[in-house]
Chain A
């Protein structure tokens, strides 16, 4: 004991304090606790790309979280200002590179709304088909990495097996596996190749059985439950206030799916259920995405049915030099990660004056510190997984 402490001890004893009380007082004055700052990322196995978190820890409990982003910034929005409307499509591919058709989809819909273009119905069905396949592939990758983060290694490889099938389908239809650039303003680049729909049907047959495989490993696994139930909770009000959208907010019991709430394209003609669970925790968000995969599979089947029966053009008449009228437009779609909005300001030239992209991952990420406050380090990993961020989208 230091001299100072001994002195304090004597002083306190002289005052007539009890011995236990004296000990406690000295402890309080002389033993400081300090938060441990841990830097997680941008090079970290489970921050899904280049997310960087600075965690303040008390033992293993999170006191504070700071999110540092910008490691994947490519200036997509600024680049778009120097490109014609057609040339922007490949840029949108690279936002959420795990579901590029869905990214294209939002953009072309926004431009079409701005220019008032009528798209042939067959093209719309093809677009929905591809977007839903993209949703399946994106959710598969999410489940794979999320499970891997929590330690379930086998799910990872099972999911990649099925994702490979979807990517093969993309390759068959568009030539690209990740960055497909298949959508065009006014339709899609070309009709689907021969035999494609049969392959899709085959996939739709197999897929629900494979989801059963994942369920066997996770759905009621005690360890999985104890790692996800009541972890990283966020209430519906808080979530909405922070701008949470997509599966992340539907896991908090908010029935908000733009495909239903504000039907675009041909979604109003399709039969599917919106997956909503009200656990507010990681497990609820898992259930939402799991169900969404199956629902997407249903949508894909309906699209295949329609496409098999009908023939027709897949492109509207759009001039080569495309100049939408001056004005502005905001159009939001339901991307796999949440609400994806494109805000375009046109000055009547062939390039947008300004393109602002409201990406779901960026908004969802902001809810992370709220979710993990007071949780353990291991829960941060589960929480990052459960909001399914893609850094290409966050940084743009």
Chain B
């Protein structure tokens, strides 16, 4: 009993420490990769090649003055960033890095992730509402519309693969894949990636925080650690959607020669790199265009994909 708790605690500590470290260094990675894509160096000052930059950033944010606008609803204003961060971090609990390495194995793992992610959106809406600023409010409204609708496509795009895998348990989904599901479900994969970009608010769909229009959208009024929570949550979410893509479409930890967790990380960082690359390449969609793409193009495609998957499964399996 005690032994089990000890092991569980150890796992929690290891996975969370690694997750937080990854999240912090993801900011560094992004700045470096984009920097080199844009013919510049990225961070270079703190430590060799700027390696200590994320730590310096964290310290800076930690010691910043904590400003609360007079118009803000205090309680909600404090609560919103925490909600965002907590929702992002507890998602790591069910991610199977290797066959036996995860904090907990839920038989409804995927459903858990989707539902917790939806709660995370509430944090952003609350932040926009509680700030008492028009820019924040517009940003919050945008994200309400955007993230809720894109969650739908995200969920629907995962249904096709789920039908083939036959389980919501992330471990079983991986084990069901002799050939990575991306081969059977290319359409669902593409839709998933697009919806994921929308879900994690990244270019070309970074409308809630559209810098040039809404200053910084929902987190305009946030500073110091509260801002850092949003920031961390955003990058944690990026890791999560990459991890789900790895598990559902690229057969998770499976791969020759290298140990499982290594394969998992390699595959996950392919997606992370892709998201960063997209940011360096594309302009931003306008809010209404973005919603139109979602409801008028992506939704029918996703539904058709589910239908076709079902029909083919009926025919093949009898």
Contacts and interface: CB of A to CB of B under 8 A. Distances in A.
A224 interface: yes
A45 B215 contact: yes
Interface stretch (A118-126, A330-338, A371-379): A371-379
Contacts of A45: 211-212, 215
A69 interface: no
Interface string B110-153: 00000000000000000000000011001000000000000000
A46 B211 CA distance: 8
A376 B285 contact: no
B203 interface: yes
Interface stretch (A5-13, A152-160, A297-305): A152-160
B279 interface: yes
Nearest to A155: B283
A147 interface: yes
Given A154-B280, A157-B39, A377-B213, A227 B285 contact: yes
Nearest to A150: B283
Nearest to A226: B289
B96 interface: no
B37 interface: yes
A161 B288 CA distance: 34
B74 interface: no
Given A38-B135, A157-B38, A157-B40, A223 B213 contact: no
Contacts, number: 82
B204 interface: yes
Contacts of B38: 153-154, 156-158
B283 A224 contact: yes
Interface in B30-60: 34, 37-40
A201 to B, nearest CB: 23
B39 A217 contact: no
Interface in A1-53: 36, 38, 44-46
B224 to A, nearest CB: 20
B63 interface: no
A151 B212 contact: yes
Contact of A378 (B34, B279, B286): B286
A221 interface: yes
Nearest to A44: B215
Contact of B213 (A153, A158, A381): A381
A378 B281 contact: no
Given A44-B215, A151-B206, A36 B285 contact: no
Judged by DSSP, the binding face of A is helix
Given A38-B134, A151-B283, A379-B286, A223 B204 contact: yes
B76 to A, nearest CB: 21
Contacts of B134: 36, 38
A381 B281 CA distance: 19
Interface in B202-236: 203-204, 206, 210-215
B212 A60 contact: no
B287 interface: yes
A218 to B, nearest CB: 8
Contacts of A227: 283-286, 289
A63 interface: no
A292 interface: no
B287 A376 contact: yes
A3 B284 CA distance: 48
Contacts of A381: 212-213
A377 B213 CA distance: 7
B284 A223 contact: yes
A221 B204 CA distance: 12
Nearest to B137: A36
A148 interface: yes
Nearest to A59: B141
Given A60-B138, A223-B284, A227-B283, 13 more contacts: A36-B134, A46-B212, A60-B287, A151-B206, A151-B212, A151-B284, A153-B279, A218-B283, A221-B282, A221-B283, A226-B285, A227-B284, A376-B286
Per CB-CB distance, the 9 closest pairs between chain A and chain B, nearest first, are: A151-B284, A46-B212, A157-B38, A152-B283, A151-B283, A149-B212, A150-B283, A378-B286, A223-B283
20 contacts: A45-B211, A147-B283, A149-B212, A150-B212, A150-B284, A151-B282, A151-B283, A152-B283, A152-B284, A153-B203, A153-B279, A154-B34, A154-B281, A223-B283, A223-B285, A227-B284, A377-B138, A378-B286, A379-B286, A381-B212
Interface of A: 36, 38, 44-46, 60, 147-154, 156-158, 161, 217-218, 221, 223-224, 226-227, 376-381
